Amino acid sequence: VYSFGVMILEIISAKENSSFYHIDDSSTNNLVTHAWRLWRNGSPLELVDPTIGESYQNNEATRCIHIALLGVQENPADRPTLPAIILM
């Protein structure tokens, strides 16, 4: 489930988790940490690849990001099961 969440974040952002470096206040983060920061700041759509333009609905992109973040929660017990994700 964790890898599925990472894959969704990579698709939405067009960035690879393993090669993502975002320097913010002299800290380096991976894509998952960056996505969580944007979510907590109320700006998850900043994660969306800008080359997509306006060809997506905000609520659908936000929902995909939310599902991805549920899958990459730090505590594995808090993550939904794959069957639960499929029903989302």
Domain boundaries along the sequence of the chain: 2-87
The correct answer on CATH 3.30.160.110 for the domain covering 2-87 is: no
Report the pLDDT value the prediction gives residue 21, as an integer from 0 to 100: 59
Query: Please, which residues bridge with residue 24 across strands?
Result: 27
- Whether the CB-CB separation of 13 and 52 falls below 8 Å is answered with no
Per-residue burial over 21-58, b = 16 or more CB atoms within 10 Å of its CB, e = otherwise = eeeeeeeeebbbbbbbbbbeeeebeebbeeeeeeeeee
**pLDDT tens column, 30-70:** 899 999 999 999 999 999 999 988 888 999 999 999 999 99
Report the pLDDT value the prediction gives residue 25, as an integer from 0 to 100: 53
Share of the chain above pLDDT 70, in %: 89
What's the rounded Cα separation, in Å, for the pair 54 and 21? Answer: 25
